[in-house]
Structure 1
Amino acid sequence: MFKPYGIIPPVISPLHEDGSFNESVYRIMIDRLIANGVHGIFPLGTTGEFYAFTPEQSRRIFEITVDQVANRVPVYAGANSITTRGAIELVKIAQECKVEAVSVLTPMFISQTQEELYGFYKTIAANTDLPVIIYNNRPKTNVHIEPKTIARLSEIKNIVGVKDSTGDFTNTEEYIRLTRGNDEFGVLLGRDTLIYAGLCYGAVGAIASCANVAPRITADIYDKYIAGDLAGALEAQFTLAPLRIATGMGTFPQVIKEGLELEGIKVGKCLDPIASLSDEQRETLRCVMQTMGLL
């Protein structure tokens, strides 16, 4: 059975000035990330502005991703919708594009009970052969999957993991504690400052937005930890932390895009209404990246 692992960047979606998808820069991004040691590629997550694309545009991005990755690492596709049927539609599109797994965010805007969340993921899993990763991002959705619900969902054969972007490490720990007897289920960190801590507790990796800008540093946290170089892994975590903290400037994921622009990768800005950073914020970001050795 497929099990997620390692550092998986939720890849930014490069855009032209008119807001259309920039395929050529996206392909460059994929090659750069893989060359720097990431363990998977994840199109159309939160960092990839999934909300900006129609189902058919999503299909095209999945097709481009699978083509460019060319079986070098697994492809995890974001399939996010408020309704169960909408999520299933995107999951089926992803499956037709031959990705390895899908990540499904909790429905946003509406406020579900735990039983409704359980039914949402159970129904999605029953409608695909793909491995499904639950995506919990309470700060963005105001919806939270409780650890007991994750434990129940982990018993479904093709639900293989959960990404926890709450930033609440007690929550992450409980996800791990309550599923630790299931070797076919893995917990992934969604907060880049907590990757090392998560690995120490038994997490299998991270879906890390900062890996777009600092792929080698981020991959070092995982690779060095697995190799037994705990001091090296912790040092990589400390090196990465200021970049993740800097993403609080502006509206996410604009800092990630501006970091890439500073590195010379012309990814454009986020889709409106997200604004560019101020000159002062951009200079702060530049200083952070220089300290990290990225510029």
Structure 2
Amino acid sequence: MFQGSMVALVTPMDQDGNIDELSLRNLIDYHVDNQTDAIVAVGTTGESATLNHDEHCRVIRIAVEQAAGRIPVIAGTGSNSTDEAIEYTNCAKKVGADACLLVTPYYNKPTQEGLYQHYKKIAEAVNIPQLLYNVPGRTACDMLPATVKRLAEINNIIGIKEAVGEITRIRELLELANDHFAIYSGDDATALQLILLGGKGTISVTANVAPQAMHDMCHLALSGNRDEAEAINQNLMSLHQNLFVEANPIPVKWALNKMGLIPEGIRLPLTILSEQYHEIVTQAIQDQHVN
């Protein structure tokens, strides 16, 4: 079972929006050096929505190659088409990903039964560990705990990334956790609280910019060192908040560019961070002593 700080990795691009393979490989080495606990490739932060099928599989393959067993790779393989999600998940398995992360189908608003059948079909089609991902603020689709409970009974569905960020929801999901099924945060601002309540870690945007601090915070929390974990988390709070002043991954890609880790490229319809937010994101980076 995965635990700790799992980075929702950006996909580096040049100014024309082409994938920058060298920067991607260097980023993975950066995370290994800074003790990130797992790489999550081609999720929302990795701009999965604008990568074509070949690019999607290529980024996963590069991540697996560069990680080279030093760090687990979880591949984002979700789609609002069940058949397409199966294709992406098959691709991830073939190139050697350790697990897959599948976002709830977006835009088409399935019922709870539709969600259950969607994930059940993918799990039965591809024998690889799979994580559910619920982020209704982006998908207009909320997978309820009762549906999660049904899916948790499927052997290769091993956990959920929950991004609702509400403690009531977190408590409901934690009642489902066991040695087979884990709860992970998808909301940086409440990740510490989830871990202290019994979650196993977080899939984090902040970890792109402050990987060592996120690793330390998560592992202190997992070991029960609340005070030390809270002190680190307080120091990270400006990043938790200000990396979302515009739609993710706009601010985090801008921050990583200013840190000299990636080019400034991002794909339309996303654009480079608006000038009015430059100072606030710069200050958040400087406050954490990560530049």
Task: Please indicate the TM-score interval, normalised by the length of the shorter structure.
Answer: over 0.9
* 1:154 matched residue in structure 2: 152
How many Å apart are 1:248 and its aligned residue? 2.6
1:14-33 equivalent positions in 2, closer than 5 A: 14-33=12-31
The residue identity in structure 1 corresponding to 2:100 is: V
How many Å apart are 1:247 and its aligned residue? 2.2
* 2:255 matched residue in structure 1: 259
Q: 1:170 aligns with which of 168, 171, 179?
A: 168
- The answer as to whether partners of 1:4 and 1:161 remain within 8 angstroms in 2 is no
The residue identity in structure 2 corresponding to 1:162 is: I
- Residues 1:13 and 2:11 aligned together: yes
- The answer as to whether partners of 2:90 and 2:126 remain within 8 angstroms in 1 is yes
* 1:83 matched residue in structure 2: 81
Q: Deviation digits for residues 20-69 of structure 1, max 9, x if unmatched?
A: 10000001100001111111111101000011111211121111111100
CA distance in 2, matches of 1:223, 1:90: 31
CA distance in 1, matches of 2:243, 2:267: 17
CA distance in 1, matches of 2:113, 2:217: 36
- The answer as to whether partners of 1:6 and 1:206 remain within 8 angstroms in 2 is yes
Which runs of no fewer than 5 residues in structure 1 stay unpaired? none
Paired residue secondary structure (1:123): helix
- Residues 1:281 and 2:281 aligned together: no
The residue identity in structure 1 corresponding to 2:212 is: R
Scaled by the length of structure 2, the TM-score of the pair is 0.97
* 1:294 matched residue in structure 2: 290
The residue identity in structure 2 corresponding to 1:248 is: F
Q: Which moved more, 1:240-249 or 1:90-99?
A: 240-249
How many Å apart are 1:244 and its aligned residue? 1.7
The residue identity in structure 1 corresponding to 2:65 is: D
Q: Deviation digits for residues 140-165 of structure 1, max 9, x if unmatched?
A: 00101101111111011000000011
- Residues 1:230 and 2:226 aligned together: yes
Q: 1:124 aligns with which of 119, 122, 125?
A: 122
How many Å apart are 1:282 and its aligned residue? 0.7
Paired residue secondary structure (2:41): coil
* 1:40 matched residue in structure 2: 38
1:207-218 equivalent positions in 2, closer than 5 A: 207-218=203-214
Paired residue secondary structure (2:17): coil
CA distance in 1, matches of 2:82, 2:189: 32
How many Å apart are 1:227 and its aligned residue? 3.7
How many Å apart are 1:270 and its aligned residue? 2.1
CA distance in 2, matches of 1:13, 1:38: 17
* 2:140 matched residue in structure 1: 142
How many Å apart are 1:167 and its aligned residue? 2.0
Which runs of no fewer than 5 residues in structure 2 stay unpaired? none
Q: Deviation digits for residues 183-227 of structure 1, max 9, x if unmatched?
A: 110000000011210111110000001100110111111122234
CA distance in 2, matches of 1:147, 1:97: 32
- The answer as to whether partners of 1:195 and 1:221 remain within 8 angstroms in 2 is no
- CA RMSD in angstroms comes to 1.2
Q: 2:237 aligns with which of 233, 236, 241?
A: 241
CA distance in 2, matches of 1:75, 1:266: 20
How many Å apart are 1:127 and its aligned residue? 0.6
CA distance in 1, matches of 2:268, 2:155: 40
Paired residue secondary structure (1:134): strand
CA distance in 2, matches of 1:60, 1:278: 30
* 1:69 matched residue in structure 2: 67
Paired residue secondary structure (1:144): coil
The residue identity in structure 1 corresponding to 2:25 is: R
How many Å apart are 1:118 and its aligned residue? 0.5
How many Å apart are 1:278 and its aligned residue? 2.7
Runs of 4+ in 1 over 4 A off after TM superposition: none
